């Protein structure tokens, strides 16, 4: 039985909830624990940073949240456990917390490209799941564009963070499922927060580079990367690459608050408070309204990051 990322091999462990938790805690890993209940039903538990996170009951195309205690009560006769990248964990959580929308069967590359073109035309934001015998994965679209930092597939060679070949002679068709999200869903809010923080920081760092040059931008990147080490977030010139799995919006907001506070403090030192405040404010207004709303809801605003 394999519901998600079925190409990844099972980790063989003693069938004990304690041994599973000890293993994943020791690895500080994002993981998936699947159980087959009967011929029609299964259950999954998502582990975040080595700790049990959420559990769901699966039946046909329906997902129902259940307690961790209920998940543990199911028999361990048919189980599967895998370690996943953080990006895989956060996209899987988004799928579990969302509603299935369209389902497209027997897709080929041409049909997929047509669908992607349609999503781009519609400026669709949502999650797409791709399933075939040889691969399984998710890609998050934002305003019609697939986000490279929000993409993961399991293949026979392991997890990859790019689009694999979607079909070959032995795997001629695949299935695509789209998902819709309530605005209140934590995993969706985290995704929007990542987009907003990335777009705002890109605007800030781009303007900062125009003012001080490439060398001082690189110095700023190095200092910020040193200060945000607790999280799997890195700066590469003008881009923020976030590969961390934040289970809750408040945790993601805390990490970004630390990033923007450090960014504001470093820029204050180089260009002064007045220019820093102006730079932060002008670039904040260029962020899309829905992204800006999530940033504001967590008080990630210009006034908070410059004295």
Burial 246-283 (b: 16+ CB within 10 A, else e): bbebeebbebbbbbbebbbebbbeebeeebbbebbeeb
Instruction: Let me know: does 211 contact 271? Beta carbons within 8 Å.
Output: yes
> Which residues touch 198 (CB under 8 Å, ≥6 apart)?
149, 239, 240, 242
pTM metric for this prediction: 0.91
User: Between residues 133 and 211, which one has the greater pLDDT?
Assistant: 211
304 secondary structure, DSSP code: G
Q: How many CB atoms lie within 10 A of CB 167?
A: 18
Q: Which of 19-23, 24-28, 35-39, 283-287 has the highest mean pLDDT?
A: 283-287
206: pLDDT strictly greater than 90: yes
Taking only the tens place, the pLDDT of each residue in 140-187 is 999 999 999 999 999 989 999 988 777 654 556 789 999 988 888 899
pLDDT tens track for 268-280 = 999 999 999 999 9
100 in Cβ contact with 179 (< 8 Å):
yes
Query: What three-state secondary structure class fits 178?
Result: strand
| Closest listed residue to residue 293, CA positions, set 196, 198, 190 | 196
């Amino acid at each position: 039985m394999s519901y998600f990322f079925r190409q990844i091999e099972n980790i063989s462990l003693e069938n004990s909830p304690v041994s599973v938790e000890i293993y994943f805690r020791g690895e500080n890993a994002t993981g998936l624990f699947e159980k087959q209940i009967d011929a029609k039903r299964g259950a999954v538990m998502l582990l975040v940073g080595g700790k049990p996170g959420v559990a769901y009951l699966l039946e046909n195309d329906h997902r129902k949240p259940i307690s961790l205690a209920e998940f543990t009560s199911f028999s361990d006769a048919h189980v599967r456990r895998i370690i996943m990248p953080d990006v895989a964990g956060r996209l899987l959580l988004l799928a579990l917390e969302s509603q299935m929308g369209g389902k497209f069967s027997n897709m080929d590359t041409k049909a997929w490209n047509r669908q992607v073109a349609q999503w781009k035309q519609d400026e669709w934001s949502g999650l797409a799941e791709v399933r075939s015998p040889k691969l399984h994965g998710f890609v998050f679209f934002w305003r019609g564009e697939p986000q490279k930092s929000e993409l993961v597939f399991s293949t026979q060679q392991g997890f990859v963070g790019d689009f694999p070949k979607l079909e070959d002679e032995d795997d001629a068709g695949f299935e695509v499922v789209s998902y819709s999200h309530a605005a209140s869903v934590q995993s969706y809010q985290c995704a929007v927060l990542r987009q907003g923080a990335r777009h705002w920081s890109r605007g800030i760092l781009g303007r900062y580079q125009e003012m001080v040059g490439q060398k001082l931008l690189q110095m700023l990147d190095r200092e910020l990367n040193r200060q945000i080490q607790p999280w799997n977030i890195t700066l590469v010139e003008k881009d923020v690459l976030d590969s961390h799995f934040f289970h809750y919006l408040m945790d993601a907001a805390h990490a970004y608050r630390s990033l923007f506070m450090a960014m504001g403090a470093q820029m204050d030192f180089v260009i002064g408070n007045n220019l820093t405040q102006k730079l932060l404010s002008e670039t904040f207004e260029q962020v899309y309204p829905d992204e800006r709303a999530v940033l504001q809801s967590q008080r990630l605003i210009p006034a908070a990051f410059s004295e």
